[in-house]
Amino acid sequence: MSAVLVRSEVPGDREAVNRVVAEAFAHHGLEVVAMVEALNAARRTRASLVAEVDGEVVGHVQLSHSWVDARRKLVDVLVLSPLGVLPSHHGRGIGTTLLAAAVEAARDTGAPAVFLEGSPDFYGARGWSRGSTLGFEPPSVRVPDPAFQVVLFDSHEKWMTGRLVYCDPFWELDCVGLRDPRLAELEARLSTP
Ligand SMILES: CC(C)(COP(=O)(O)OP(=O)(O)OC[C@H]1O[C@@H](n2cnc3c(N)ncnc32)[C@H](O)[C@@H]1OP(=O)(O)O)[C@@H](O)C(=O)NCCC(=O)NCCS
């Protein structure tokens, strides 16, 4: 396979990024595109990276600003969402490469932690931990515990625990966790050994 180049998104990438997001997230792709655009418009985006193969944008990952509501004060943290790769390019390590680059970009911002909602199998195998085991609460009861994941950085201090509070665009577009019947289906899957 041709080499994968990961780089920051530039203004000319917008259309290609929207296409990747829409295709990667299939039936709810347009909702995820709207979320990306809302995060950008609200100036909550802290990094947006693309993966390019042979000059074509085939993957995208975004980091945005949220908070942990710690006892002492609100702590600025990052949320990784969305991560998407064109279906035609799945299974070639592009998602893993983008994820690793996003974690490094998150570390470079000086944030103490980056959170996401996702498959514990996929992310757990790539260095992510279950948030609840490290003193964090998900932003909603509709985020199944195993799906709520975090990577901590050196700037994280012991007191920086508590509930993750997403920035407004996630709530305004109802992009937090899942709703039934998808939530119930996922919970059933996660509880099946
Ligand atoms: C998840 C995604 C980004 C992975 O991209 P990719 O380039 O195919 O990933 P890689 O080639 O690096 O890794 C492939 C692995 O991902 C796993 N994987 C793919 N989709 C997955 C999913 N929805 N849940 C769990 N694992 C998944 C594959 O089974 C494979 O596992 P293996 O390494 O044990 O064989 C891509 O499948 C995608 O865009 N999916 C749709 C959007 C999405 O669900 N994003 C994640 C939101 S949390």
- Beta bridge partners, 163, equal 69, 137
Other beta carbons within 10 angstroms of residue 178's beta carbon come to: 17
Q: Is 46 helix (H, G, I), strand (E, B) or coil?
A: strand
Q: Give the pTM.
A: 0.96
Cα 66 to ligand 1 centre (Å)? 24
Cα 123 to ligand 1 centre (Å)? 9
Which of 25, 85, 96, 117 best tests ligand 1's pocket when mutated (most atoms within 8 Å of CB)? 85
Q: What is the number of alpha carbons within 13 Å of residue 150 lying toward its C-beta?
A: 26
From first to last of the 193 residues of the chain, give the pLDDT tens digit.
689 999 999 999 999 999 999 999 999 999 999 999 999 999 999 999 999 999 999 999 999 999 999 999 999 999 999 999 999 999 999 999 999 999 999 999 999 999 999 999 999 999 999 999 999 999 999 999 999 999 999 999 999 999 999 999 999 999 999 999 999 999 999 887 7
Which of 122, 128, 170, 185 best tests ligand 1's pocket when mutated (most atoms within 8 Å of CB)? 122
> In degrees rounded to 5, what are phi and psi of residue 83?
-125, 120
